[in-house]
Amino acid sequence: MFNDPTVTVAGGGPSVEQSAIMDQLIRLIRAVPGDGWIHFAMHEFAPGDRSSEVVDALIEAHDRGVGVQVILDGQEDGNNNAVFALLAAELGSVELARSWVITCDEPLLPDTRGCIARNYLHSKFALFSSVVIDGTEHSNVVFQTSSNLDDWYLYNSYNDSYTFTDAAVYQDYLTYFGDLRVGRNQPVNPGYYWSSATGTRHRGIFLPREQSSGDTIVSILRLVECSYTDADGVTRQTDIRMVLTAFNQHRADIARELLRLRGENCWIDIVHLEDAKEPPSSVDTAIRTILGMPASNGKLIQMTPCRFQVPTNSLWVVPHTKVMMVDGFYDDDIVPRVYTGSANFVHQENSDDSFVRIMDRGIHTQYLTWFYKIRSACQSNG
């Protein structure tokens, strides 16, 4: 599911394109039967043109008997306080109850922190024990998104979400959710990192991760080969595409791997958030320097900075996604992959994050179409 912040409607309020992701979340919440469960983790959650409806849907689910358990980031600026108060008034904050809402900050400690990580909860996912859609019940549903919940994510940013059913990965996300809940009362654990089993269509990856233990994205890129033969015997190149919010010096090894792969004739195509002010911080100078260098074969990585103003409402738009797509040879197969979730390419120890790897040509094709749409909008208006 993809939103489009550039599609506006007369008279204000979000268009269906702008609110697509939040509307999907609301539909899922409303589709949970009365004996079901919702587990929900979110970085930013404030009242807004659709986010307030998410609050209402969660309360309505609780009222019909659904167990609704919510973990929010502490937010030093108090941005989550209003929604926390609304949910706490209905769900309570007693973790032994069927429903509750809590923040990562341990109440007796003064410092804002993540539940497991050092600084903050950045995850954005919801788990549904089952949903009933058009009379058919679907169990073990995971909703993973790049979008927080307030108006900026309707009107000012591109986001994506991916909803899937997978019993094993659902249980892994549920374990992560439980660890977030327990972790808030324990010392921070920057070395928490783990992932789902490999070899299946979906794989969940759960952070924080110690910087010294390696980099998941680097490990992925090192298994890529830039030339391969397809099923018809045709020699092809591997394509790597990204749409990113933040990429900084703490993940410079990713940039070096991308430059190496460009030198081996992989196609590397990156759309990234462009800051309004200098010096750039979202994609910082260290990363821009590496990615701007000619590769060993003299070729360049295609970089598309993105920040533009929508003519119909004069609002500025940027990407807020954290997507990497690999189409070509990876490890021992040529199944296209999409990696998406809440994790930026920044310091791995500082935030509680999750993302999912999807092996599926059809899903990759949908993301590729969306990628071209964003890149075209950014290039045309930049």
* 319 exposure class (CB count in 10 Å sphere: 0-12, 13-18, 19+): buried
- Residue numbers of the chain with a pLDDT score lower than 50: none
pLDDT score at 277: 86
pLDDT score at 109: 55
Burial 356-373 (b: 16+ CB within 10 A, else e): bbbbbeebbeebbebbee
Q: Which residues contact 162 (CB under 8 A, 6 or more apart)?
A: 1, 143, 144, 145, 338, 340, 356, 358, 363
pLDDT score at 11: 82
To which residue do tokens 């591109």 refer? Answer: 158
Q: What stretch(es) of the chain map to CATH 3.30.870.10?
A: 20-183, 194-381
Output the six-digit token pair for 283: 């994609």
pLDDT score at 77: 85
pLDDT score at 111: 66
Q: Which of 368, 328, 325, 326 is nearest to 234 (CA)?
A: 328
Q: Hey, which residues does 327 pair with through a beta bridge?
A: 239
Burial 108-123 (b: 16+ CB within 10 A, else e): eeeeebbbbbbbbbbb
CATH superfamily membership of 194-381 = Endonuclease Chain A (3.30.870.10)
The CATH architecture annotation of domain 20-183 reads 2-Layer Sandwich (3.30)
Q: What is the pLDDT of residues 232-265, one digit of tens each?
A: 899 999 999 999 999 999 999 999 999 999 999 9
pLDDT score at 279: 83
